[in-house]
Homo-oligomer: A and B are copies of this chain.
């Protein structure tokens, strides 16, 4: 198909498709002359994936690029790609307090989690704890442990469903699920809160 059809099929305007080509987010089509190129079904899928990562995952294009590069590069081992992808999609910010970082490390030790010492998640979690402190609504240790228990259960169910027949599909699934399942979880949690608190209010009145 030509670019106009690609644009129509993917719902992305032609100028934006051109822009993505320039930025290297979308591989070039097969040139059939100096001023024409044909695009495949893969291009449609890639475009839809980019839109999903941006609109639902909330990623910036630079991060989309790094995630896609990690997904495409089947050479790097899975756990490394995961690290790259996770650091690519983690917001940068000020360093966390030593106190919160120690809480995080204590949790990791308590659960005997194998978490890389340079994992961005340690820092991100510590900063989130700092933010709760600043908002005068510090998260108690037992609540933190409870959340850890819950997500452990989630991960035990989620990870085995990853298709590891090929390392490519495994990487793809792992990275995409990290980014795309998170909004699902958050939306569900907000709905559950809506339900529980409206029920509590009804009961009280």
Residues of A within 8 A of B (CB): 45, 48-49, 51-52, 55-58, 77-79, 82-83, 86, 91, 93-94, 108, 111, 113-116, 119, 121-122, 124-125, 127-132, 134-137, 139, 143-144, 146-148, 150-162, 173-174, 176-178, 180-202
Contacts and interface: CB of A to CB of B under 8 A. Distances in A.
Given A48-B134, A127-B55, A135-B49, A185 B147 contact: yes
Contact of A191 (B78, B113, B128, B189): B113
Given A147-B185, A185-B185, A86 B180 contact: no
Nearest to A184: B128
Given A176-B135, A180-B131, A190-B86, A91 B58 contact: yes
A152 B159 CA distance: 21
B189 A151 contact: yes
A124 B183 contact: yes
A158 B191 contact: no
Given A115-B191, A125-B188, A136 B45 contact: yes
